[in-house]
Structures are given as structure tokens and as C-alpha cells.
Amino acid sequence: MSELTEGGAPPARPRPYLTYTILAVNVVVWAVTDILGRGDPNALIRFGAKYDVLIWSGQYWRLITPIFLHAGLIHLLLNSYALYSLGIGVELLYGRTRFLVIYLVAGLISTVTSLIFSSSLSVGASGAIFGLFGAFVYFALVNRRRIGPGVWSAILPPLLINLGFGLVNPGIDNYAHVGGLLGGLGMSYIVAPRAAEKPWRKALTSAVIAAAFIGAVAFSLHPPRSKWFYDFMAGNKAAEAGDYQTAEGLYKASAAANPENAAAHYNLAIVYARTGRPDLAKASLKQALAVNPDYQPAKDLLNQLGGP
């Protein structure tokens, strides 16, 4: 029997305003990025994409901004549908404040995980959305005796399909997805009330989860500062100052010391392009794409220069 208010009507169901708000923010950010960044191959980087070397150089706000950016309308629509489908349920189950904490922290952890394990440029709300999957999994585990096994048929298929699709599609950052999923699970454990659990046990486990997260952040933000990294960052400063001759030498040294750094090849290509050497620029872009075939800025610049 449903609960009734004093006047005999059922209590008002809370509305998932935060889910709607995040959806609206994502749409507005995409529109602004699309309008202001049209024709700029580096628009996503300029607006806050996860770009390793800029995060390492101190732009730590890039750990959270990628979850509000999208690489095109289709990307936005797919993530908006997933957020709408999952977000309403999680917000109603956990409440607005807990939902927001789970979403943002899962998104942050997804970016950190991508930063540790992948050098690819990354944007999208999918890491935070996988955190909502984690929140549903946690709720189902805790309440398995009350809700029965049927709930798993609703949770597991879309979760496994999305993870599997990420594994077979090289353009998807599956590290961010797994990080978001684990972040959602961990944060759900921390913020969800558990009356039957001993407080000291939950406090201890929460502290371990928090320490692991802080350790992961510290590790990702302090990679080995070898010479290639310093050369690369010095090259960036020289290029920003318009000293392309110095920047060229530094980028060459960085690429020679660490050939897997696609960004060094890409930035060297920009120097070549700005100094009137398109053939050398194309060669450097091909090297960047050989290291990272999904490096979209390199693809865009290569197309601007006339292709192969």
C-alpha cells in the first residue's frame, strides 16, 4: 500500500532536477564549443579536454572539465541518452546531493585513470555515466535480498555491452569507463547510508578508498620528469613566445628521446606549418598518427594541409 499524505494524496515524487541541469549544461557547453571553435582543430584542447602534458604542466582543472565536453553532436546525443536513462534513477535512489557527488567524483576518477593509462586526447561524460552504472550495481548488491535477481538483467547487459563496445572500438577511452565505474562503486559505498553496518568498518573502508584515490591522483600528476618532458614543455614556452627556431630544436630533442610522445611530433608539425614548410609538417603529423592513430588534432591538421 502506498504512503498517503494528510490530505489523502500520495506524496509528491522528487524531481531529478540535477540530471536535467547536467544535461542542459552539456548541451550549452557543446553549442558554445561548436560555435566558437568551428574550424579550430585544437578547439577541444582549448576548451578543457584531457590533454596529458597540459595537466602535468599545472592545468589541473582539466581533470574535471572533460566530462562536460563532447566531440560532436552524435557523441553528445549518445551520452545525453545514457545520462537521462541512468541519471534519473540514481538521483531518485540516492538523493540529489549524493547523486552529484557520485557523478562528479566518478568523472574525476575516470579522467585520472585515463591520465595514468592512456596518452590519448579525451572528452565526454561517459566516464561519469559509468559511475552511475557503478551506483546502480552498488544499490543492487546492498539490496539484493529485497529486490531479487531480476534487477541484474536490467543492469548487467547494457553495462557489459558498453564495456565490450569500448574494447573493440579504438576510438573509445575504455580506461576512463573502467575508472568511472570503479569510482561510482567506491563513492556509492562512501556516501550511501548503511544502518546495519558498523560505523568503524565503513569509516576504515572509506579511508582506504579515499587514500587509494589520492594516491592515484598524485601518481598521475607527477610522472617521471625525464629530459624529454622538460624539452617538450620548454618547446611549448618557446612556441608561445614565437621563437619557432628554439621550439623546433626542443621538439626534435623530445621526440628523439621519447618517440612515443605523439604530442611532440604534432607540435613540431605546427612549427613547420607556421614557418612555411608544409611537407615537413605532414611528415611529422604522420609520425604522430603512427604513434597514436586516434590523435584527432593531428588528423585535422593533416587534412588542413591537404592530406597525405
Q: Which residues are catalytic?
A: 126, 177
DSSP states along the chain: -----TTSSPPPPPP-HHHHHHHHHHHHHHHHHHHHSTT-TTHHHHHT-B-HHHHHTT-GGGGTGGGG--SSHHHHHHHHHHHHHHHHHHHHHH-HHHHHHHHHHHHHHHHHHHHHH--S-B--SHHHHHHHHHHHHHHHHHTHHHH-THHHHHHHHHHHHHHHHHHH-TTS-HHHHHHHHHHHHHHHHHHS--TTS-HHHHHHHHHHHHHHHHHHHHHHHS----HHHHHHHHHHHHHHTT-HHHHHHHHHHHHHH-TT-HHHHHHHHHHHHHTT-HHHHHHHHHHHHHH-TT-HHHHHHHHHTT--
